[in-house]
Amino acid sequence: MSMTPIYGVPDAEEAIATLHRAPEIGIDLIDTSDAYGSNGSNEELVGRALKGRREKYVVATKFGNIRLPDGRPGAKGNPEYVKEACDKSLRRLGTDHIDLYFIHRVDETVPIEDTVGAMVLLKEQGKIRHLGISEAGAPTIRRAHKVHRMAALQTEYSLWTRDIEEEILPLCDELGIGFLAYAPLGRGFLTGTVAIGDALPQNDRRRDMPRFQGTNAQQNLKLVTALKQLSSRESCSPAQLAIAWLLSRRPPVMPLVGTSKRKWLEENAQAVELTPSQATLGALDETFRPGITQGDRYPAAMMARLGL
């Protein structure tokens, strides 16, 4: 997502070089969406990187996360749209199949069975290989999984976003659904290197996110200070420790660590080699206990689209 403008304007050529570097160090999953960038521009960028290298990657993309005519966030999951969205994504990505196709946001006006049924048809046609769902509530996940196995659930999860631990993670374990944790570094906040409030660039989406603003941000910075101290104890960066914490969770989760630069890709990848002490893991659990983070993770209108 960060490879097209959302947190400022990235360098497209460096982004492509980062995607090319990934499989060389053992990272083969690319996760995108038709909602990232404008008019599918993120998928187009990924398509450029895939050209002549498709076999090196597992490609995931998503559909259904839209903006309504009045600018409010919405969702679209009717069967006709599912087919249309998939065909457009295939063209932008320059591939004949999508390895993992996600319902990006649940359309509460369409039975989830109808949305998943349309995805099943795409699978039968060879256009997609596995089905997934994102930011859905437990009842919807169960209903979707009953129609066809959901290979993966993608929902935000990190040290500062732990609300899925009580119900959603155990449900994924029960049903055998893989869990992909997006924003595992708190949209960069947990690295300790990201500005807050008015110091963020004008075109940075985080200016609209409550956790990056005012007293919320000031309180959350205290958590990052503790993370820096613990990472120093483990001789690693705060980002590496945040990723290692996720990798230590049970049931297992896969962190979807987004970056548009090779240097951060390589640093983040080294987290798989870390084995933090039980004392450090315990201190992280206590410092970042559920509910301690100040502020919602999205603006109110977007929060209303989660967990449906």
Contacts of 139 (CB under 8 A, 6+ apart): none
d(CA 137, CA 124): 27
Q: What is the Rg, in whole angstroms, of the alpha carbon atoms belonging to the chain?
A: 19
Phi-psi region of 189 (alpha: psi -120 to 50; beta: other; left: phi over 0): alpha
Positive or negative torsion for Cα 276, 239, 256, 165: positive
Question: How many CA atoms lie within 13 Å of 287's alpha carbon, on the beta-carbon side?
Answer: 23
The two structure tokens encoding residue 161: 């976003």
For the stretch 237-248, pLDDT in tens is 999 999 999 999
Q: What are phi and psi of 201, to 5 degrees?
A: -60, 155
Which of 36, 101, 157, 182 is catalytic? The answer is 36
Contacts of 55 (CB under 8 A, 6+ apart): none
Residue 305 and residue 66 in contact, taking contact as beta carbons nearer than 8 Å: no
Is-catalytic flag, 36? yes
Q: At what angle do helices 112-124 and 138-147 cross, to 10 degrees?
A: 40
For the stretch 114-160, pLDDT in tens is 999 999 999 999 999 999 999 999 999 999 999 999 999 999 999 99
Write out the H or E segment, with its range, that includes residue 241: helix 238-247
Bridge partner residues of 178 (DSSP): 152
For the stretch 54-103, pLDDT in tens is 999 999 999 999 999 998 999 999 999 999 999 999 999 999 999 999 99
d(CA 161, CA 46): 28
Q: What is the pLDDT of residue 115?
A: 98
Q: Which segments of 52-167 does DSSP mark as H helices, in order?
A: 79-93, 112-124, 138-147
Q: What is the pLDDT of residue 87?
A: 98
Separation of first and last alpha carbons in the chain: 23
For the stretch 163-186, pLDDT in tens is 999 999 999 999 999 999 999 999
What are the helix and strand counts (H, E) for the chain? 11, 9
The two structure tokens encoding residue 155: 């929902």
